A and B are shown apart, each in its own frame.
Chain A
Amino acid sequence: MILFLTFCISVSLFAQKKTQGYRIEGDEVVFVFDKRDYKEVTHGLSQHRKSIDDTAIAIEMIAVAGKFNNWSEDEWIMTKIDENRYELRKKMADFTDEFSWEFKFVINEEYWAEPEGDIENLSKAKRKGKDLNVYNLKMYTAYISENGNAKFFLKGYQQAEKVILSGSFNKWNEELFEMKKAEDGWYLTLQLRPDVYEYKFIVDNIWITDEANPNQKENEFGGYNSLIDIKAYYTFTLSGYKDAKNVMLAGSFNDWSKDGFKMSKTEEGWEISILLSSGKHQYKFIVDQDWILDPNNPIKEYDYKGNVNSVCMVR
C-alpha cells in the first residue's frame, strides 16, 4: 500500500530575488536564520498570526523543521552566531531525497517564523487551488552559483526574450533557473550534487536540447534530453602498510587497471583523491602486487566473477 504525500505548490518568482534560509558549502548545507528577516510568526494548531514585535519573543532556541525531519520543532537546534544570526550545519548526504525540501524555522518550539518579501525560494502551500495563506521556504540541492560546478551555455538566440534552464535537478521547473544574457548567447552556472542529470533549454516557451552537448537521452515524448554527469572528488585512504614500496588503487572506475592510480604516502598510510561519477563503485588496493580489500570499509560485494571487492558510494 502506498501512502502518498502530495503537496501542491506554486513557486512565485521574480528576477533577482534572494535565496533565504540556507546556503550550501561544499558537501554541507548551512541553515541560516537571521531574525531581522522575519516580521511575523504563527503559532498553535489554528495558526494565529502575530507580529514578532508585539509578542516580544525572547529567543531561547531556534530549530529547523522540515519535510526531512517530519517538521520536528525541537530536534535540529541551531547555534547562535551573533546577536541576530543562527546557523546549523548538516551533511548533504543526510538528505536522502532527490530534489527539494520545504522547511521553516521554529522559535522556542512554538512560534513558526513566517518568511515574506522578495525571496526566490518561497513556496506557497495550496489545497485544491485554494490558498492556505502560508509559505514554506524551499531548499533545492541545485542552486545558482557563480562558482558552481555545472556551467550551462546556449550559443546565439540573441532575439530571444527569455531562456530558462529546466531539468531533472529541479523537477523540470519551468521558471526557477532563468539564464543570463551575454554577447554571444545565454549562460548560467549551477551548483549540483553528484548525479547524472537530464536538462533542456526553454527559449521563449520552446523546449530545445543543448546542441553543443553530444550526450543525449531519448525521453518519453519521443524527443531527446541533454545529459550532464556531475562528478565529485572522493578520497581513498589506507592506514598502515608503511613499509610498502608501492600502493595502487584499482576499481570499476578505471577498468581495474593495475597502474592507473598511484597512492601517495602520508603520515598515517596512503591516500588518493579522484573524481568519480555518482553512485556505487567497487575497488581494491594493490600493495606491492598484493590485491587487498579496504580494511576500514565494511561494505563489500561480489563481482560477476565471484571476487569480493570493497564498495564506496558517491552522493
Chain B
Amino acid sequence: MRKLIFTTLVFFFSTDFIWANEEENPIGILFPQAEFLNHYTARIPFKVIDQLIVVEAEFLNKKGNFIIDTGAERLILNKVHFPKGKRLTKKRKEMTGVTRIVDQPYERKLSEFILHNLNLKNKKSDVIDLSHIEKSKKMHLLGIIGYNILKDYEVFIDLYLNQITLSRVDKRGNKLDDKVYAEEVSDTLDFDLRKHTIVVSGFVNNEKVRFALDTGAEFNQLNKKIDKKILEKFRPIKHLSMVGAGNKKIRVLAGKLYDFRLNERIGVGPMYTIVTNLRKMSEAYGTYVDGVIGYEFLKYKRTIINYKKEKLYFIKSPIFSP
C-alpha cells in the first residue's frame, strides 16, 4: 500500500453551468445497453473500474462512460468532450442515437423512456476537466451522473448483478411502476438528506455515527477527529501517502472498520477504511459527517435509494449473509 499514491479529487462546483432547456427536443442521456422494463423503469448494466460504478452511455452524439456518483451534487460533464459555454441544444434530425438499437424488440419504448424520463430539461450541469481520471482509469469519460439526475428515481445499485435500476417516482417518492423488483426487500432504513448527501446514522462500538453514503467513494473514510471509542473498532493495517487537493501530500492510515451497525438488526463489515481529516470533505458534502461509506458498503448490501422518502431498502445478497 505504501507503494501507491492516492489522489483525492475535490470537486468544487463551478458557477459555469449550462442549461438543457430545449422544450421540444429534450436532450437525453442514452444508455445503449439499458434493458427497458416498463414505462418508467430501466436497468442499466455497469462495470466496476477501480471500485467505481461506470455505465456506458451516449450524450450529444458522443459515446463513452459516465460514473454513477451519489456524492456529486449534479451532472458533471467532462470539459475535454463538452467545451464550456456550449449550449446543450440538439436538432431532431441529428438524433441518430436511437436507431442504433433497432435489434431490440422494445426499441420504441426505450427511446420513449429516454426522451420522456431521462431528459435533462432544466437540469443544471457543471463542466469540469476530468481528463486526469480518463488517463488513470483508461476510460473515455463523458461525465458523472449525480444527485440532480438520480433524485427523480428510485435507484437500485446492485453489485451482485452489476446493474443499476432506475425507476421513476412521483413527488412523494412512490414508484410509478409496480412490478420493479421480484426479490423481497429484507430491510428498510431511514436516512437524512442533507443538501445532496445521503446521511446514514448507525453505531460503532455502541457510539452513534453519521456516515455519508457515496457511490463515488472507492474506499470508506473515517474522520480522525472522531470519538476514541469508535476508533477502537478501527484496526490499522498500513500508512499511506495521499495527494490531496492542491497536490498537498498527507499521510493517512488504512485499515479495517469492525462492528458498524445500522441498527439492532443490520450489521455490515468489516469494511476497508482509511482514517483521514474530513474537514474539507464536509464542505463538499454540505454537512458534517463522521465518515463516508461507498463501494465497500455496497459490496455487502444490495441497496435501493429513495431520495424522496429518505429511505434505503436492502435486498439480500447471495454472497454475504446479513
Please give the residue numbers on chain A whose beta carbons come within 8 Å of chain B beta carbons, in ascending order. 1-8, 45, 47, 67, 70-73, 96-99, 102, 125, 127, 132, 134, 136, 171-172, 218, 220, 279-280, 298-304, 306, 308-309, 311, 313, 315
Contacts and interface: CB of A to CB of B under 8 A. Distances in A.
A44 B3 CA distance: 13
Interface string B39-63: 0000001011111100000000011
Contacts of A279: 45, 162
A122 B318 CA distance: 36
B219 A5 contact: yes
B61 to A, nearest CB: 11
Contacts of A67: 4
B216 A1 contact: yes
B3 A136 contact: yes
Closest 3 pairs (CB-CB, A-B): A125-B3, A71-B1, A2-B216
Contact of A302 (B144, B180, B292, B294): B180
B254 A313 contact: no
A70 B237 contact: yes
B146 to A, nearest CB: 10
Given A4-B8, A5-B218, A70-B254, A45 B2 contact: yes
A11 to B, nearest CB: 13
Given A73-B237, A304-B109, 9 more contacts: A2-B69, A3-B221, A8-B5, A67-B4, A96-B51, A102-B3, A132-B3, A280-B162, A303-B37
Nearest to A173: B138
Given A1-B214, A5-B219, A280-B162, A298 B318 contact: yes
Contacts, number: 145
Q: Which among A4, A45, A136, A218 has the highest number of chain B CB atoms within 10 Å?
A: A4
Q: Which among B7, B106, B239 has the highest number of chain A CB atoms within 10 Å?
A: B7
A47 B36 contact: no
Contact of B161 (A98, A306, A313): A313
Contacts of A5: 4, 6-7, 50-51, 218-219
A72 B64 CA distance: 35
A184 B109 CA distance: 49
Interface string B247-286: 0000000111000000000000000100000000100110
Interface string B232-249: 000001110100000000
Nearest to B105: A304
Contacts of A127: 5, 241
A134 B71 CA distance: 34
A1 B284 CA distance: 7
A298 B183 contact: yes
B179 A306 contact: yes
Contacts of A3: 6, 8-9, 216-219, 221, 292, 294
A123 to B, nearest CB: 9
A277 B212 CA distance: 36
B75 interface: no
A127 B299 CA distance: 30
Contacts of B51: 5, 96-97
Interface residues of B, number: 70
A214 B217 CA distance: 39
Contact of B160 (A8, A97, A313): A313
A70 B256 contact: yes
Nearest to A65: B1
A125 B52 CA distance: 22
Chain B contact residues: helix, strand, loop or mixed: mixed
A304 B6 CA distance: 43
A5 to B, nearest CB: 5
Given A4-B8, A127-B5, A220 B64 contact: yes
Contacts of A171: 138
A311 B316 contact: no
Contacts of A6: 5-7, 132, 136
B119 interface: no
B299 to A, nearest CB: 7
B123 to A, nearest CB: 20
A315 B162 CA distance: 10
Nearest to A293: B182
A70 B180 CA distance: 36
B21 interface: no
B179 A98 contact: no
Given A4-B218, A280-B161, A71 B5 contact: no
Contacts of A304: 35-38, 106, 109
B304 interface: no
Contact of A172 (B5, B71, B138, B284): B138
A220 B7 CA distance: 26
B201 interface: no
Contacts of B6: 3-6
A259 B256 CA distance: 51
Contacts of B133: 4
Given A47-B2, A298-B183, A220 B63 contact: yes
Q: Which among B37, B69, B285, B316 has the highest number of chain A CB atoms within 10 Å?
A: B37
